[in-house]
Structure 1
Amino acid sequence: MAKRYDRTLGRRAALQVLYESDILGTPVDKVVDEGVVPEEAALNDYARRLLLGVASHITDIDRQISKSSKNWAIDRMPLVDRALLRITVFEMQHVDEVPVAVSINEAVELAKDFGGDDTYRFVNGILGRIARTMGEDVPESDEIDDMEDEPQAEKTAEPEVQTEPETEVEPEAENAEADSSEE
């Protein structure tokens, strides 16, 4: 059980570091080697394995993501989505001790925590397509295919504010209520 938890923490930390690497424009292997990681993303061995694996296979990983995503160029994807896809594609193809279905499920959970409202569907659709090209038996989903035509909403977007319609009280009605309470 401890190994599973370590992997979950490793995926989470790897996602945070890969995201930061993209924002700063610093190669991920440099971030890992120099220990320049966010305080909340302490790197365990599994996180290091994922990050260094992504760094060494980035060209192939990006090519697979691009081939499997409809209407989305990889450089136009939200950074969280792209980082999560990269980590998971590496894990699916190079970490034999983790079943592909588990990798996809973990990615979906991270997408729910870190991505926009529909990120989990977007990520699940692309990873499902990649898994099928690997010969994995994962179900297809038309709903997910349709999602890729729409831009992903970021979690940082302003929430919609819904207000109750204001009702005006006529002054005469207000006075009538006051008069009746004085009696």
Structure 2
Amino acid sequence: MEEEFEISDGKLHAKRLGRELVMQFLFQCDVAREEFRQSRWESFMLQAAQTHALRDNRYARKGREYAEKLLNGIRERQAEIDAAILAHAENWEWDRLAVVDRNVMRVAVFEMLCMPEVPPVVSINEAVEIARDYSGEKAGNFINGVLNGIKDTLSRPARKAVKEL
């Protein structure tokens, strides 16, 4: 049985849509204890399009493109991303982190580590908002603390996009 989520706001920008889709997909994989498979992603996207009435338009295409960029990057660097989260989630074991929260953080940490065109504070703000929509106010505060700790270790500006690192 797969969990279903709703996209939190029908007026989201494409990157936010991509972030939410990836978080939802990673959540489903975690709950089902399954590794990524392209066929599972395709099935998820078909379900998401139907469930959320995503039309085949520029917005949905851009959201999916961003989601796929995030998903592929997270898959490639998951061990590094998870280690960064654990290093800054003081006194928390991986299994004690809420599944939604850890997947929200995975998306944000990947952006902070690997997508210089996204300012770290944007990644943090988006993660906090998504967490508040899907997990709760306290989760947003916890995620904000963890991600701010990671942001402080970066060697790039927190509030500016960078064309190249």
Q: Please indicate, yes or no, whether the TM-score normalized by the shorter chain is above 0.5.
A: yes
- 1:48 and 2:68 are equivalent in the alignment: yes
AA of the residue aligned to 1:22: D
> What's the Cα RMSD here?
2.1
Residue 109 of structure 2 is aligned with which of 89, 105, 108?
89
Q: Give a deviation string over 1:127-171, Cα, whole Å, max 9, x none.
A: 000000114677xxxxxxxxxxxxxxxxxxxxxxxxxxxxxxxxx
Which residue is 2:126 aligned to? 106
Alignment partner for residue 44 of structure 2, among 21, 24, 37?
Answer: 37
1:124 partnered with 2:132? no
Matched-pair identity in %: 35
CA contact (8 A) 2:119 2:157 kept: no
Partner of residue 73 from structure 1, selected from 86, 93, 104: 93
8 Å Cα contact 2:25-2:41 kept in structure 1? no
Matched letter for residue 100 of structure 2: V
**Structure-1-length-normalised TM-score:** 0.67
Aligned counterparts of 1:34 and 1:59: Cα–Cα separation in 2:
20
Mapped contact 2:86–2:93 kept (Cα < 8 A): yes
Q: Larger Cα Rg: Structure 1 or Structure 2? A: 1
Matched, 1:17 2:25: yes
Amino acid at match of 1:130: I
Measured in 1, the distance between the counterparts of 2:108 and 2:39 equals: 18
Distance 1:92 1:54, change over 3 A: same
Return the alpha-carbon distance in structure 2 between the equivalents of residues 56 and 33 of structure 1: 17
Question: Residues 47 and 82 of structure 1: is their aligned pair in 2 closer, same or farther, counting only changes over 3 Å?
Answer: same
Which one of the candidate residues 78, 82, 96 is aligned to 1:62?
Answer: 82
- The structure-2 alpha-carbon separation of the partners of 1:136 and 1:108, relative to structure 1 and needing over 3 Å to count, comes to farther
Whole-angstrom distance in 1 between the partners of 2:116 and 2:149: 19
Question: Could you tell me how far 1:33 is from its partner in structure 2?
Answer: 6.5
Partners of 2:111 and 2:157 in 1: CA distance: 17
Q: Which has the higher contact order (CA 8 A, sep 6+)?
A: 2
Offset at residue 40 of structure 1 (A): 2.4
Q: How many residues align?
A: 134
User: CA distance change for structure 1 residues 119 and 136 in 2, over 3 Å: closer, same or farther?
Assistant: farther
The residue identity in structure 2 corresponding to 1:123 is I
Cα offset for 1:116?
A: 2.8
Q: Cα offset for 1:75?
A: 2.3
Contact preservation (8 Å) 1:31, 1:37: no
TM-score (norm. length: structure 2): 0.74
Q: Runs in 1 of length 4+ with deviation above 3 angstroms?
A: 31-34, 135-138
